[in-house]
Amino acid sequence: MKKIINTTNAPAALGPYSQAIEVNGTLYVSGQIPFVPATMTLVSEDVKEQAKQSLENIKAILVEAGYTFADVVKAGVFIKDMNDFGAINEVYAEYFGETKPARACVEVARLPKDVKVEIEVIAVK
């Protein structure tokens, strides 16, 4: 059974998609950009702050669905500039600690609202 997950503690979807979908104990979290949920505005131009906000948005969705970062098995990180890889990794490591999921990180030409980072995850209970 497919369950749509939605929380006001993460930014509303900018298009025709759900914040997350849960199917058979697996949670698919849509890419989260660094918008502050209450204002739907960019947190900062600083790439570390953007990475942190994207991960906080993911955290809010995980919590809403009853998951934690320890349940994440796969992450996708999309960045505007590969030169920001190290800075983003510093923030990313704070959220995952020893429970590091599989991950892909790619530089892309452009992200929604011209942000510097977008992160998506898959979590399993």
HSE value, Cβ hemisphere, 13 Å, CA-based, for 20:
32
HSE value, Cβ hemisphere, 13 Å, CA-based, for 106:
8
Total structural domains within the chain: 1
Classify 62 as helix, strand or coil: helix
d(CA 11, CA 41): 9
- Burial letters 51-86, b for 16+ CB under 10 A, else e: bbbbbbbbbbbbebbebebebbeebbbbbbeeebee
CATH number at residue 11: 3.30.1330.40
Looking at residue 97, its pLDDT comes to 84
Looking at residue 99, its pLDDT comes to 87
Domain that holds residue 15: 2-124
Q: Assess contact for 6 and 15: CB atoms under 8 A.
A: no
Tokens at 101, concatenated: 């999921």
Instruction: Report mean pLDDT in 10-residue bins for the chain, 125 residues.
Output: 97 95 98 97 98 98 98 98 98 93 98 97 97
d(CA 30, CA 77): 11
